[in-house]
Structure 1
Amino acid sequence: MDLSAFERDNAVNCLLDSAVPAACRSEPCSLGIDEAGRGPVLGPMVYGICYCPVDRQGDLEALKVADSKTLTEAQREQLFEKLGAAKDFVGWVLHILSPNYISTSMQRRAKYNLNALSHDTAIGLIQRALDSGVQVAKVFVDTVGPAEKYQEKLKQHFPDLEVTVKPKADSLFPVVSAASICAKVARDRVVKNWRFLEDLEDADLDYGSGYPNDPKTKEWLTQNLDPVFGYPQFVRFSWSTAQVILESKAVPVCWDDTEDDAAQKNAQSLLSYFARKETSSKRPPHRFFHERKLKTVTSL
């Protein structure tokens, strides 16, 4: 799994494909879909598909694949290596969705929530497999939202395929378990090797589990908030946990066309951030200033 393209620019999404086995181009195949990292406020979400010939499902099951959440990191890595060694009948595709893309998508003017984003990503991955020559016959999906509605949506896009959407599909169907393992391994590797564009050299990079209810994650979010520029790109700033901290710790912005004049008068101006202070801040300047070679001056 070569993640170098995403690691070079983790602000944009990235697609990764294995080679398509010859058997998958000539025989009817089962395809499973699952994701990793839906809930965390930190890091990307990774959607994965795994496919193999219908007649080789027993061989896939013999690899002892299981729901990735029930496995240790070492077990997932070992099983991913086994899937790679079974390249004569197993293939996969991964779509890494950057935190920046997730948040900007969810904050569009037109409503586009995480469920819709997940559905569209899954549809795109199925289509990619078909375009790559995989003879997809059956699709198994771990549900996002109501299973019946999701299944009907997929059937409308792919009327010739047999589609099954069920809760806990990653523990019911080996091909979905395999997809779950591929997605989780990719996310774990990306998060572990995340390249921060922001200057966080002196920051504590122990951010806990990354889930919103983790006290260590909340503390990390508070400590690494720039009052003007917000969070590092590692953070999904559209999550309510991040929004609450932004509202309480960041410098508010008042728009000239606001209808709430009273609130505008009481709010602190953004210009106050640039006002001269008696005590200097220990926080390093944001990369915005370094990239533009800007320095703070006290007089003109």
Structure 2
Amino acid sequence: MEKHSIAVLKEIIKQGKLSDELMSQLKKDERKGVQSLLKSYEKQKFKEKQLEENFLAMTAYERKAYSDGCKYVAGIDEAGRGPLAGPVVAAAVVLPEDFLLLGLNDSKQLNERTRERYFMYIKEHAISYGISIVDNNKIDKINIFEATKLAMLEACQQLQPAPDHVLVDAVKLNQLPCSSESIIKGDAKSISIAAASILAKVTRDHLMKELHNEFPIYDFASNMGYGTKHHMEKLREAGASPYHRKSYAPVRDVLG
């Protein structure tokens, strides 16, 4: 049989048309370029298999809820409990039972470009999602833990249709009108919570970049309000902005 050129083989692989028969032939092909191409292909297939296995493992809580008779399972997560400035943002999302997004994980484990891409994909394919923003003034008034729970509840209340089971990252929400589970490190164990973590994280990052345009001295676009060395230096030099959390010790100390 006539040997394909490397360029042709690359195109066959790219189009997903590499048959078992051709694969068997290529394994006998002594050309270094072919063997290098096969090695890359097998490495990519192994990576895809791992992603599929990881994704399946992260659907365990959802599958259990479906088997119990639930139709709409929501995941809830937040972003921004630790920063010295800006809001806390929570997101709730109901994904379809056949939802598939290989590589979906805790938003902190993904780079910004991937988060942005997943952000759009999740919003487009979700059955429903809600996002709630609680600003720094409310955080100072009721404390960050209560503000986080408030944001989570508000995000969940936006869901239509309403969920009949809710998976929450770490926090227990007793005011929900349906059954719920609080899962430690849930954003790495549940696709619904992971999806919510991305919606919350990307939404908050966008907001912090807007605040950066208003107060560039603090470099919110880079630190997202966290107490980096540069942020602390500028906080001491310029004092607090209207978006700083005055109940947080580093900010409170600067204000005296």
Given that 1:196 and 1:234 are in contact with CA atoms closer than 8 Å, whether structure 2 keeps it comes out as no
Distance 2:229 2:211 in 1: 21
Q: What is the match of residue 124 of structure 1?
A: 154
| In the alignment, structure 1 residue 162 sits paired with structure 2 residue 179 | yes
1:43–1:117 Cα change, 3 Å:
closer
SS at match of 1:204: helix
**Residue from 232, 245, 250 that aligns with 1:218:** 232
Q: Identify unmatched segments of 5+ residues in structure 2.
A: 1-69
Quick check: 2:76–2:196 contact (8 Å CA) kept in 1? yes
The Cα of 1:135 is off from its aligned counterpart by 3.9
What is the distance in 1 between the residues matched to 2:212 and 2:83?
Answer: 18
With over 3 angstroms needed to count, the CA separation of the structure-2 counterparts of 1:116 and 1:85, relative to structure 1, is closer
Residue of 179, 184, 188 corresponding to 2:205: 188
1:234 and 2:243 aligned? yes
Match of 1:45 among 88, 92, 99: 88
Say whether residues 1:113 and 2:143 are aligned partners: yes
CA drift of 1:63 comes to: 4.6
Taking the aligned partners of 1:94 and 1:125, their CA distance within structure 2 comes to 5
| TM-score calculated relative to the size of structure 2 | 0.65
In 2: Cα distance, 1:195 partner to 1:66 partner? 27
- Give the drift of 1:215: 1.6
Output the CA distance in 2 between the equivalents of 1:163 and 1:176.
12
Work out the CA distance in 1 between the residues paired with 2:204 and 2:129: 15
Is residue 212–residue 219 contact of structure 2 (8 Å, CA) maintained in 1?
A: no
- Structure 1's consecutive aligned runs of 4 or more residues displaced over 3 angstroms after TM superposition are none
Q: Secondary structure at the match of 2:86?
A: coil
Quote the offset at 1:95 in angstroms: 0.7
For 2:252, the equivalent position in structure 1 comes to 243
1:281 aligns to what? Answer: none
**1:64 & 1:85 partners in 2: Cα distance?**
17
TM-align CA RMSD: 2.2
| 1:28 partner letter | K
Residues 187 and 244 (structure 1), Cα distance of their counterparts in 2 relative to 1, 3 Å cut: same
Structure 2 residue aligned with 1:100: 137
TM-score (norm 1): 0.56
1:90 corresponds to which residue?
Answer: 127
Contact 1:29 1:135 in 2 (8 A): yes
Select the structure that is richer in helix.
Answer: 2
CA distance in 1, matches of 2:162, 2:252: 44
- 1:91 and 1:127 map into 2 onto residues whose CA distance is 11
Deviating more after overlay: 91-100 vs 238-247? 91-100
Deviation at 1:127, TM superposition (A): 2.8
Secondary structure of 2:95's counterpart equals strand
**Does the Cα contact within 8 Å between 1:35 and 1:184 map onto a contact in 2?**
yes
* Pair 1:31–1:211, CA change in 2 (3 A): same
Indicate the residue corresponding to 1:143 in structure 2.
Answer: 170
Gaps (5+ residues) in structure 1? 1-26, 106-111, 145-149, 226-230, 248-300
Name the CA shift for 1:85/1:100 in 2 (closer, same or farther; >3 Å). Answer: same
Measured at CA, do residues 113 and 235 of structure 1 come closer, stay the same or move farther in structure 2, by a change above 3 Å?
closer
Counterpart for residue 71 of structure 2: 28
Q: Percent identity?
A: 28
| CA displacement 1:48-105 (0-9 Å, x = unmatched) | 111124xx1x424x3532100101111100111212332xx432111112223222x2
Contact 1:63-1:79 at 8 Å conserved across structures: no
CA distance in 2, matches of 1:42, 1:118: 14
State how 1:254-269 maps to structure 2 within 5 Å: none
